[in-house]
Amino acid sequence: MTRTYVIDGAEVTGLAAFWRVIGEAVNGPGGYFGRNLDSFADCLSGGMGTPDDGDFVIEWHDHERSRAALGREETVRQLQLRLARCHPANRTTVQEQLDRAKDGIGTTVFDWLVEIMEERAPGALRLM
């Protein structure tokens, strides 16, 4: 039996809200399903609330609203946070990503999340 987890895109107002919404969709109120990109990827591939056999679907309702909330502005904000805490050896790369995001170039936070879902749970994501 395939389990279905629903993300209400109207509730995704930024990345912090996404972590809450996906955590509650998969593991109930207050549930955890990652709070950074690496842990989210691990949760998707490790059965952290999803069936161990990988038989699940994530329906992202009103995803266009989420796409806007997780768009360029949120991407710039997240890259600024990343730049402030990254290892000095990575600062040049992150600064380049930030500069590109400010110029409206490159992927967005929404794109990052979708890419992780498609990579770690192929076929499980349904944008609605």
Q: What is the pLDDT of residues 13-41, one digit of tens each?
A: 999 999 999 999 999 999 999 999 999 99
Total domains, the chain: 2
The helix or strand, by DSSP H or E, that contains position 6, with its residue range, turns out to be strand 3-8
**Cα radius of gyration (the chain):** 15
pLDDT of residue 7: 98
Give residue 55's domain range: 3-71+108-127
Residues 58 and 102 in one domain: no
Is 12 found in the same domain as 56? yes
Instruction: Tell me, yes or no, whether 30 and 19 share the same domain.
Output: yes
pLDDT at position 51 is: 82
Instruction: Examine the domain organization and report whether 17 and 77 are in the same domain.
Output: no
Instruction: Compute the average pLDDT of residues 56-70.
Output: 97
| Residue 60: its H or E element | strand 56-61
Q: If pLDDT is split at 50, 70 and 90, which confidence band does 47 have?
A: confident
Quickly tell me which residue has 């955890």 as its tokens: 32
Q: How many helices (H) and strands (E) does the chain have?
A: 6, 3
Average pLDDT of the segment spanning 66-72: 98
How many CB atoms neighbour CB 74 within 10 A?
Answer: 21
